[in-house]
Chain A
Amino acid sequence: MVSKKIVLHFPKRLVDRPIVYHLIKDFSLEFNILKASVTPEQEGLMVLELKGKQEDYDKGIHYLTGNGVIIESLSQNVIRNEGRCTHCGACVTVCPVGAFELDTVSRQTKFHNSKCIACGLCIKACPPRAMELHF
């Protein structure tokens, strides 16, 4: 079983089609809608937690991309507000996947967005509240 949080961007032409319905019907995937913003004649956005067998999950993702849905992993949506970050480094030991790293030369705290799993732990742990979750 896999369970991943993903962001779906629907182009205008797909907004009025029952795309997500096929994930359940054809691929037996479970999903939980974390956020959705779908308006007729506009691009749609949906944040899903998608769960199922790895094989079905891969097929489901293939179905979505084949239909023109653009998929991002949720991690791309935790961003650091550079204006508020003081580079104190309090986040370094809070992140469960080591997405923050203290540069031992510059002593700045680096944020490796690619490692982020968007768990959100850093958001409340950051003393100046520089980490923001953007859907």
Chain B
Amino acid sequence: MPKTIEEINLKIKNGEAVVFTAEEIIGVVKEKGLKKATEEVDVVTTGTFGPMCSSGAYLNIGHSQPRIKLGGGRVYLNDVPAYTGLAAVDIFIGATATPDDDPRNKVYPGEFNYGGGHVIEELVAGKDIRLEATAYGTDCYPRKKLETWINLKDLNEAVLFNMRNAYQNYNVATNLSNKTIYTYMGILKHNLGNVTYCSAGQLSPLLNDPYYKTIGIGTKVFFGGGVGYVAWQGTQFNPTVPRTENGVPKGGAGTLALIGDLKQMSSRWLVGTSMLGYGPTLTVGVGVPIPILSEEVLKYTTVTDEEIIGTIYDYSDAYPNRRAEPIGEVTYAQLRSGKITLQGKKVPTASLSSYPRALEIANTLKEWLKTGKFELTEPVAPLPSVESGLTFKPLKERPIEH
């Protein structure tokens, strides 16, 4: 008999929910069989902890006396510029924002030791942040300059709002050129010197619900150590990519836009990150519970790293020049073994997303569900799946005539 989210929530409230992580469920289903396991298991928890650039937070800092209109002015948080094109005291700090005086890649490869992601980490950690602002002054908002310390606890709202997190699979990167390159996929050594990848694989939220049968808008999730919600499909949402027989996308497909109260999050799960030669970003912890509503839903959660295929691209040429020329396919089990064979060469592999920390997220969420600290929500609208026909379009440049 299919379960409902309401029934599962009743069990969660009574402390009776049967919960496994996406890693554990593989063995459980192998042992009990799909039918019996579907009857017994209520929720499977997932997790991922990797650098996610489309992350940021909006803050309402409160009104100064006299008032200042930051909107249309300039705001810096610890020297990192924040976006101000909003109402008087609402600002948005993005993960990849870089201080104006950072040498960037003028000193190549740039170190990017401090940026928006680091501001968010320090804010969440409860540290004072230096705000410096200039504005043009109006009759109702006369002030033109503001320099003050701000602290998370004093802000009216501090909301983490990430436009694209938890990518459902991702490119695997290597370098075919004869020099080392510095990318968002890490340092790639020359002549197939190494291969990097960035997915929690069998623990990754959307790889455990490949057709978005349970994860939808309104789904409550583990977000940065606190609680958040799926706000929308993430940007670059691309459900129509090639998939394996099991429905697993062979490259970046679905993504999630997530929202949550920064005030209850933790700097253990929002870590300011620096990609050498690329820029600053934020490593974000996300965990999504999957309610086991049917055998089909459970079957998808038993996906293993052996069944998840990543597509390898050359980041020295094909990727930067946007040519869809994969140079191979590899399973995450092969990637996690530490070495793969590519073009007849044994190539060492490295991960950019942390599997141990993804597992910790899945286990934390499991604990929350088992102790009644976290209840499931019913999605209010589905994410567009394969039948939507939605694709991720490249930019068609149209020359501007002068």
Contacts and interface: CB of A to CB of B under 8 A. Distances in A.
Interface of A: 84, 86-94, 102, 104, 106-108, 124-125, 127-129
B139 to A, nearest CB: 47
A88 B197 CA distance: 10
B354 A93 contact: no
Contacts of A90: 186-187, 196, 350-352
A129 B113 contact: yes
B111 A124 contact: yes
Contact of A102 (B109, B189, B276, B338): B338
Given A93-B193, A127-B275, 11 more contacts: A86-B354, A88-B283, A92-B350, A104-B338, A106-B356, A107-B359, A127-B51, A127-B273, A127-B283, A128-B271, A128-B283
Contacts of B357: 86-88
Contacts of B337: 104
A124 B351 CA distance: 16
B118 to A, nearest CB: 9
B234 interface: no
Contacts of A86: 49, 271, 283, 354, 357
Contacts of A125: 186-187, 276
Nearest to B186: A90
Interface residues of B, number: 34
Contacts, number: 79
Nearest to A84: B271
B233 interface: no
Most buried by B among A91, A106, A124: A124
Contact of B196 (A84, A87, A93, A107): A93
A124 B356 CA distance: 22
A124 B276 CA distance: 6
Interface in B254-310: 271-276, 283
Contacts of B195: 93
A64 B276 CA distance: 39
Given A86-B354, A125-B276, A94 B187 contact: yes
B355 interface: yes
B81 interface: no
A93 B336 contact: no
B168 interface: no
B116 interface: no
Given A102-B338, A104-B338, A107-B336, A91 B51 contact: no
Interface of B: 49-51, 109, 111, 113, 186-187, 189, 193-196, 271-276, 283, 336-338, 348-357, 359
B174 to A, nearest CB: 10
A48 B360 CA distance: 43
B348 A93 contact: yes
Contacts of B273: 127-128
Given A90-B196, A127-B273, A108 B356 contact: yes
Given A94-B187, A127-B275, A88 B50 contact: yes
Contacts of A102: 336, 338, 351
A93 B189 contact: yes
Given A93-B196, A94-B187, A129-B113, A88 B354 contact: yes
Nearest to A93: B194
Contact of B350 (A91, A104, A108, A128): A91
30 contacts: A84-B271, A86-B283, A86-B357, A87-B354, A88-B50, A88-B283, A88-B354, A89-B350, A90-B186, A90-B187, A90-B196, A92-B338, A92-B348, A92-B350, A93-B189, A93-B194, A93-B196, A93-B348, A94-B194, A102-B336, A104-B336, A104-B337, A104-B338, A107-B336, A107-B356, A107-B359, A108-B356, A125-B276, A128-B274, A129-B274
Nearest to A121: B187
Given A104-B337, A106-B356, A107-B355, A93 B51 contact: no
Most buried by A among B193, B195, B351, B359: B351
